[in-house]
Structure 1
Amino acid sequence: MACVWDGINLTPATAVDLGVHSASRAGEPVSWYPRSCRGCVALQAHRGLLTHATTCTVCAREETAASCGLGRGLYRLVREYRR
């Protein structure tokens, strides 16, 4: 098992389950179950938060930023996995 972003080897204790994903291979539907290391989850969530915050009208307004579910979720991922 390896991190989908940086390829480092993972153990069951260090892997973060990213959920089931659907794709197609040779025209046939397949499911795959990517894993990541904690550092990459934090980094990708941080990148996503920066991208999201620049285009989200809810996040752009200080008084309503806390009501954006996506922004809040990305922020929580950054905080949880940066350790």
Structure 2
Amino acid sequence: MGLAEEQVCGRRCVWCAASLNNGTAIDLGAREVDTRGGGARWFPRACRPCAHKHFGDAHQAHRDNCTQCSTTLPWCTTGQRLFAAAMKADPKARR
């Protein structure tokens, strides 16, 4: 199942399709997609609860498979960035 146009354009969360505005959206960065030999650019964004969950899940998966992150502190750069992204997206955090 593909994404709706509003999800591709960043007006809705890429995961749950919740409506977003500039104050509530977490920008996931512009993406390049090869569509049958031609490039397309899209701009995914997410709601805070989905971004927090998915970044947190990605951080845990990374820690489970990264030698440095699974055994010592400080975490590697990827581990640190995933953790920071999850904390930044935390819907319970004070703004």
TM, length-normalised to structure 2: 0.77
Distance in 2 (alpha carbons) for counterparts of 1:61 and 1:73: 17
Structure 2: state its 5+ residue gaps. Answer: 1-10
Structure 1: state its 5+ residue gaps. Answer: none
RMSD over aligned Cα atoms: 1.3
TM, length-normalised to structure 1: 0.87
Amino acid at match of 2:30: V
Total equivalences in the alignment: 81
Distance in 2 (alpha carbons) for counterparts of 1:41 and 1:54: 20
CA apart distance, 1:27 = 2.6
1:73 is matched with which residue: 63, 78, 81?
Answer: 81
Distance in 1 (alpha carbons) for counterparts of 2:54 and 2:75: 22
Amino acid at match of 2:81: G
